[in-house]
Structure 1
Amino acid sequence: MAANRDRQRQAKPGKSLFGRIEPNRIGSRKRSNKKQGLSVVNGRLVSSNDVGVLLREASRTVEARKTPGGRRRAVKVTQGSTRKRAKPGPVITTTERNGNRHNKLVISTSSDVTDKLLLFNNLELGVNQESLKSVLEELSNTSIARVRVRDLPSGSATANVWLARPTAEELERVRKFFDGALVDGRTIKVSTVADSDTKLSY
């Protein structure tokens, strides 16, 4: 009987060394993946190295944190700045003279033109901004702060021209000087516009 048990013990294969250490290897691989960094984004497990996915998730988080109050404050600031730039209109004041009330019309002739610029229309496509600036300064005998040219899909270009020292008289003088002029075979149109109006088109 003892001999039989010895033969069965010898015949039954024991667990190999590879079999004993294989589960540890699997656990080791799981731990190494964890060290690389995994994140759950929209219910999916992604690597921390997936920058695109993480950036999109961060962007959505920032958008979600925006409050309606913040948007209202931004609107209020914009409206406030618009009111500051509004032109002063006629002011009617009431005064008393010898005990009698009467209306006195007070008209303000001062106008703020610091936000005004000249808009040139129907220019040739591909006009160089610096070259145009030099030509305009030389012909009009005025100092120009900067020029911005924009090509349009219609086949023409427009140019925004900011004078260095704008006044109502200087803007009108330069406008009349170039309005209707023939530039590169094109009759251009020049108008005075507010700086805020041009920002909407760029």
Structure 2
Amino acid sequence: MTAGGGRPIRVILVDDHPVVREGLAAMLRSAADIEVVGQAGSGDEAVALCPVLEPDVVLMDLRMERMDGAASTAAIVSAAPRIRVLIVTTYETDSDILRAIEAGATGYVLKGSSRDELIAAIHAAARGETVLSPSVASRLFQVRARPAPNALSEREREILRLVGRGLSNAEIGKELLIGEATVKTYLLRAYRKLEVSDRTAAVVAAMERGLLG
């Protein structure tokens, strides 16, 4: 999987601990279709680097001084929506993850993930897919459950479950025997009901409200 035109997926690593950045870089070094084009030790540095290095995916830490991962994600995605931000965190129950996803992050992976898991997550993010573990996300967001459990129709919930598994609209349509345009219509309805604007945030919002079961 490359970013298009046969070139590798361009990645920037963002973490305020140099040893963590070097560890991530070492894990990715042997992946022929991934190129680490830059590293940043702070969120504001990452925001400044993105227009210069034009990455496809940014691996973003959450807890940083001056500008945290959520604020950095919002700034990057606002300036260049095509860039996918993948949160990399130590904690499965870090409430800051929710802020980052609401800011436009594609999803998140744990720092303890294996090399293969990290590479797979980068590939999925580069394709624009949601990178989110339902089991981890449900534990993370259960404390923020909201009312209105019947806000989504069964079909809308079914589609969001498939989004949470990383399926594209076309794949969901094939799975449910409906057209891709119909899938998009259901997603747009779900967005309105959940008051979100993208696939990842919809899955997260539905999970935190206990709608996906």
TM class by shorter-chain length? under 0.3
Larger radius of gyration: 1
TM-score between both structures, scaled by the size of structure 1? 0.22
TM-score between both structures, scaled by the size of structure 2? 0.21
Structure with a larger share of its residues in helix: 2
Structure with a larger share of its residues in strand: 1
